[in-house]
């Protein structure tokens, strides 16, 4: 029993165990990192609010954009705890998480996010569920800048947790497919916990969960293909920024939305648009992400064939 407890303890980096034990160990480590990050984030947010003259413990807090931005910036605490755990407990450098010198791939991820959302809107428009309305001629430039920074922090933090830390840790003892599935399942559970998807009608619940898995598979496959975490950080952050701030659409079921740079008329009860939950529970996103996953898998298989061909020669 003592040996099992030592093996499963997230406070050491022992790996002399079965794949099942190691999976449990790293899942516990993820839970520890997440809980500590959440507690630290809460403390930072509460401290910041008191510093701004509010009294959050008595319900006196700012509303709207200020509170939302503060919560997004608070995600830096999750990233900080994961980085410290990786260095002190796992005794690994940043490269283990995929944070290597290929920072320019962040831009490639951003371009991919723009392409995927454009295809989604185009598909929704093709079936009459989404229609362009107008351009916002008086945007809040300060808000755009702050939200851009906030989503860079939030997207990077989630990628460091789920792909950088959990996926790369699991790969040391289990197959890549299993590591991707487990880390994606954790990603889905975290987003279900934080959103209203389970309150939606059943078709949107199913599509929302399927789409969470699909986008997580896209993140993981990109990380593996490019050999770094930056591309997933760029895709994740810019996807959220465009949906929430540029287009002013519902993001992952959250109630707070912005006016957006571009205004679209969206059918509020349509399987293509995800109804109240937003595009991320819509069939248009499902089809676009399925194609993206298929293309990435095709390239992965081709890469594997090329490697095998090189070995045989």
Query: What is the arithmetic mean of pLDDT over 8-19?
Result: 92
Q: What is the pLDDT of residue 285?
A: 96
With a cut of 80, say whether residue 198 has pLDDT above it: no
Supply the pLDDT for residue 100: 95
Closest-CA residue to 173 (of 301, 39, 4, 27): 27
Q: Which of 34-48, 149-163, 293-307 has the lowest mean pLDDT?
A: 293-307
How does pLDDT run across 108-129, given as a tens digit for each residue?
A: 999 999 999 999 999 999 988 8
Instruction: Specify whether the CB–CB gap between 124 and 279 falls below 8 A.
Output: yes
Q: In the predicted model, what is the mean pLDDT of the chain?
A: 90
Average pLDDT over residues 6-35: 94
CB neighbour list of residue 96: distance below 8 Å, 6 or more residues apart: 86, 90, 168
Is residue 256 over pLDDT 90? no
* Residue that wins the pLDDT comparison between 273 and 213: 213
CA 269 – CA 127 distance, rounded (Å): 13
Q: pTM of the full predicted structure?
A: 0.93
Q: What is the mean pLDDT of residues 83-87?
A: 97
Mean local confidence (pLDDT), 43-49: 94
What's the pLDDT at 202? Answer: 84
More confident call, 16 vs 251 = 16
The pLDDT tens digits of the residues spanning 284-303 come to 999 999 999 999 999 888 76
Judged against a pLDDT cut of 50, whether residue 313 lies above it is answered with: no
Domain assignments of the chain as residue spans, ordered by start:
2-307
From CA 271, how far away is CA 187, in angstroms rounded? 23
| Mean pLDDT calculated for residue range 170-199 | 89
């Amino acid at each position: 029993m003592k040996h099992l407890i030592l093996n499963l303890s997230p406070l050491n980096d022992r790996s002399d165990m079965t794949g099942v034990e190691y999976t449990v160990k790293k899942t516990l480590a993820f839970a520890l990192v997440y809980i500590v990050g959440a507690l630290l984030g809460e403390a930072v947010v509460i401290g910041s609010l008191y510093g701004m003259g509010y009294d959050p413990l008595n319900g006196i807090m700012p509303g709207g954009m200020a509170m939302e931005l503060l919560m997004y910036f608070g995600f830096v605490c999750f990233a900080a705890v994961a980085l410290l755990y990786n260095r002190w407990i796992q005794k690994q450098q940043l490269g283990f998480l995929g944070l290597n010198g290929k920072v320019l791939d962040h831009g490639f991820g951003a371009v991919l996010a723009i392409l995927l959302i454009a295809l989604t809107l185009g598909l929704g428009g093709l079936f009459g569920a989404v229609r362009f309305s107008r351009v916002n001629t008086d945007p809040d430039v300060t808000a755009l800048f702050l939200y851009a920074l906030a989503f860079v922090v939030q997207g990077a933090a989630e990628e460091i947790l789920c792909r950088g830390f959990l996926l790369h840790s699991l790969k040391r003892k289990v197959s890549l497919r299993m590591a991707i599935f487990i880390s994606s399942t954790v990603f889905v559970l975290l987003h279900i916990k934080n959103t209203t998807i389970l309150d939606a009608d059943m078709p949107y619940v199913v599509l929302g969960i399927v789409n969470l898995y699909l986008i997580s598979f896209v993140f993981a496959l990109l990380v593996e293909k490019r050999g770094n975490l930056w591309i997933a950080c760029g895709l994740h952050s810019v996807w959220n920024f465009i949906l929430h701030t540029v287009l002013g659409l519902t993001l992952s079921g959250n109630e707070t939305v912005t006016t957006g740079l571009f205004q679209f008329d969206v059918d509020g009860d349509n399987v293509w648009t995800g109804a109240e939950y937003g595009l991320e529970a819509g069939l248009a996103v499902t089809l676009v992400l399925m194609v993206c996953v298929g293309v990435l898998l095709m390239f992965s298989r081709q890469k594997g064939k090329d490697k095998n061909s090189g070995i045989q020669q």
